[in-house]
Structure 1
Amino acid sequence: MSAVKGHILFLILMVANFAAQATWFEASGQAVIHDGNKQAARQIATQEAIKQALMFSGASVKNVQTMANGLLEDDTLEITSSGDVEHIEIIDEVYHKDYVTVSIRADIFPIETQCAASDYKKSIVTTWYDLQKRQQAAAGNLYDFGKTFATRLQLESQKSSKFGYIKQVEPYYLKPLQSEQKNIAYELSRKTNSQFVIFGEIDEFSIERIPNNSWNPWGKDTITRNLAVTLTMYDGNSGDMVFRNHKTMSAPWHFDLHQSIDSNSHMLWNSSFGLATQELIEKSIEEVDEAISCQPAYGRVITTGNESLIINIGSQNGVKTGDQLTLFKMNQYYSPQGEQRRQFHLHPEKVTVVEVFAETAIVKSPTGALLMNIQANDFAARQ
């Protein structure tokens, strides 16, 4: 390696977005010390650390021979970033026998209107959906309708979603208070190795009778059934709410009110009410998919070793042998002003996918470097 001579040029496409939350990125770079020239090695290592942080945050590196903000004196790094870089600083430099490691920290405000979605599909877990007014299920004896609704939501997701899929429906009803949802989302995410968690509830399932106002005394009353559903989705890694939607619809109910109906039957789902409910499901999945389209796809480390790791994304997510991933830790913290912020600690060693299974993959360092500092519940992402 050699130092690149030139003038400092640090180009950032700065589009202010003061509503966005800043994110701290910490990254490290290394460089060999040639002929005792520690300053040149320091510049190259700093350059590599900054490049890693900016690329992970969504920057496009045009010409990686540079960096600035007073950190380098002779080089030029040309970056077009998808965010506003507020501050960059060196936080550590360690000189070894023949190389130097430099760690930097960058404060970046992401531009939320821009999207460079990962080509990996994100996995989602949900549960059966509770009936808020259980007595309303008496018409049709459809007390398990929330179970069937969640299952059909999963089927539609697996059939039509582009950016994510409901990989699992946990076989129980769950109705957490909103204040509890964040912590439960963490738990469900880790338990099922899913990135996102959907909580659902059937808010309304009532029968409505519209009297016959016709002069015909033999005319029948019109009966409709109302359905209202609320879906709330959380990122199981960060705890952020990423989607909340309340949908309602009404459709003719052509069944006898005392007739028991199988919630999985063609009779129900081919009826006016069933077809209208299926349309509501399809629209809900479209909106869920749109909500996560620009969310990065993260895998979680589930098994560690000195030479290889197992992560919880696989062929169902689109992972392929040879893919290169970044390993990192993610922490939540609060600024002195009380704002919640996110902090990424990027591992300096990239890993390559060497074996892929349906829901998991094995990764190794392409250089053979040991991965002793990686722990279970650290993350991997293709950036």
Structure 2
Amino acid sequence: MRFKMKKVLLLLLVCCSFTLHAEWYEVEGEAIIIDGDVDIARELAVRNALKQALLYAGASVSSLQSFNGGKILSDRFQIRMDGEVRDIRLKSESVKLDKITVQIVTDIVADRNKCLSAGYQKSVSLLRFGIRHREQASYGGIYNINESFSRLLYQSLRKNSQTFDAREFINQNIGFSGSSLPLRGNLTAQEIKQISKSADSQYIILGSITDLSTFKPVVNGIAKIFSGDLPDRNFRLNIQVFDGFNGSLLFDRNYSKVTKWEFAKHRVVDTDTLKFWRSEFGVSLQLIIDDVLFDLDASLQCKLVEARVIAVDGNEVNINIGRNNGLKLGDQFMIKHTGSYVDQFGISRKKETNSSSKVEVTKLYDQQASLMTVDRQPTANVQIDDLVILN
């Protein structure tokens, strides 16, 4: 089905502030207005602010409601078992030049104890996405769209995600075919783990733009006169997230939009310009980024917080997450010893053994922390590259 939309440019960095009054959250969101369409800008600003509030509260939402004058039009929220939205109201809005700012208040009931890791940010790095059919990028000369899109997604992760500590944008070509296999192209589980180690991250995000084709929609009758010469353009994307510590696949999802391509046939389009991102096609890509961010947060916010041991100094163990990840002095972890062995078929396999010792955070830095055993006894056999799991 063709994606129909009015022009509106989402503010790339959604501004959110959270104030907790009992069970009420007050959230601020912004969007840029295009072509004077305040109604669409308002709804998009409210929707994104609400997403952030829900994730901050530890709830997950699979669909969002429509808004009209601060009241809910329909009851289409599908809150998962760990959260409930009782009420949402549009408190205020202001329009200045081409930007709308809204404030909503929402009553959210969420049992954060059911998701121990919701208050912590997991380290993640993103590799530059590929283009499966590069010949499709010749229309408009958008051969750099994969870098522009993946860089914007990375920047949005850094600024807007409640779940991730985005550490590195790896602007390199990586073997990634975009198939549905758990390991793509030439990437093996071992290579995923190596990328994770070099990027100092728990999760690795890979992606592939699988369709950039253009086509002229079939139009009959009088509408054909007004259809013009500009084609529609597909944008299909596949994203996978891997656990960098064991190479396993955690997230695999496809996204797609079809929108009008507004640029002349022989024009070479710079995908790093504001003109491109303000076009209907550019706005549709920002909506995809918005969906990706929410899906990643909702899918992975309750995954275990893990970190890698990066140094051992006597009784002190240093790990590669810290204050930026939400760690606090006294947080306790369990140590997981890692190793490998060769099975009877000559295949190298990973071996993990949980230690009975518990360690707690004694020193905090931005992206690392120092731990010691709770009873201050010597740590037994802890080695670099062992893992710790939030207890």
* Shift, 1:151, TM fit: 1.1
Q: Write the deviation string for residues 106-139 of structure 1: whole angstroms up to 9, x where unpaired.
A: xxxxxxxx95341321111121111111111122
CA distance in 2, matches of 1:217, 1:354: 72
**How many pairs does the alignment contain?**
266
- Provide the TM-score with structure 2 as the length reference: 0.62
Q: 1:331 to 1:243 in 2, by over 3 A?
A: farther
Paired residue for 2:320? 312
Q: 2:197 aligns with which of 180, 190, 207?
A: 190
Paired residue for 1:261? 269
**What runs of 5+ residues in structure 2 fail to find an aligned partner?**
1-112, 178-182
1:134-153 paired onto structure 2 within 5 Å: 134-153=134-153
Determine if the alignment matches structure 1 residue 208 to structure 2 residue 215.
yes
RMSD across aligned positions (CA)? 2.8
- Which structure has the bigger radius of gyration? 1
- Does the aligned pair in 2 maintain the 1:350–1:365 contact within 8 Å? yes
* Shift, 1:199, TM fit: 1.4
* Shift, 1:181, TM fit: 4.0
CA distance in 1, matches of 2:304, 2:350: 14
- Does the aligned pair in 1 maintain the 2:338–2:385 contact within 8 Å? no
1:44-123 paired onto structure 2 within 5 Å: 116-118=115-117, 119-123=119-123
Q: 1:371 to 1:258 in 2, by over 3 A?
A: same
Percent identity, aligned pairs only?
Answer: 23
Give secondary structure in 2 for the equivalent of 1:319: coil
Q: Write the deviation string for residues 314-347 of structure 1: whole angstroms up to 9, x where unpaired.
A: 12211122322222225689999xxxx9975333
**What runs of 5+ residues in structure 1 fail to find an aligned partner?**
1-113
Determine if the alignment matches structure 1 residue 379 to structure 2 residue 387.
yes
* Shift, 1:256, TM fit: 1.3
Paired residue for 2:176? 176
CA distance in 2, matches of 1:198, 1:219: 39
Q: 1:313 to 1:234 in 2, by over 3 A?
A: same
Determine if the alignment matches structure 1 residue 347 to structure 2 residue 355.
yes
- Does the aligned pair in 1 maintain the 2:127–2:204 contact within 8 Å? no
CA distance in 2, matches of 1:190, 1:313: 13
* Shift, 1:372, TM fit: 5.3
- Amino acid corresponding to residue 127 of structure 2 in structure 1: T
- Does the aligned pair in 2 maintain the 1:210–1:221 contact within 8 Å? no
Give secondary structure in 2 for the equivalent of 1:136: helix
Using the TM superposition, name which of 314-323 and 204-213 deviates more: 204-213
- Amino acid corresponding to residue 131 of structure 2 in structure 1: L
Paired residue for 1:157? 157
Q: 1:352 to 1:267 in 2, by over 3 A?
A: same
CA distance in 2, matches of 1:164, 1:329: 25
Q: Write the deviation string for residues 76-111 of structure 1: whole angstroms up to 9, x where unpaired.
A: xxxxxxxxxxxxxxxxxxxxxxxxxxxxxxxxxxxx
CA distance in 1, matches of 2:165, 2:357: 30
- Does the aligned pair in 2 maintain the 1:320–1:356 contact within 8 Å? yes
CA distance in 1, matches of 2:283, 2:256: 14
Give secondary structure in 2 for the equivalent of 1:229: strand
Paired residue for 2:365? 357
1:6-17 paired onto structure 2 within 5 Å: none
Paired residue for 1:237? 245
Give secondary structure in 2 for the equivalent of 1:279: helix
CA distance in 2, matches of 1:117, 1:238: 21
* Shift, 1:233, TM fit: 1.3
Give secondary structure in 1 for the equivalent of 2:197: helix
CA distance in 2, matches of 1:282, 1:257: 29
* Shift, 1:366, TM fit: 4.4
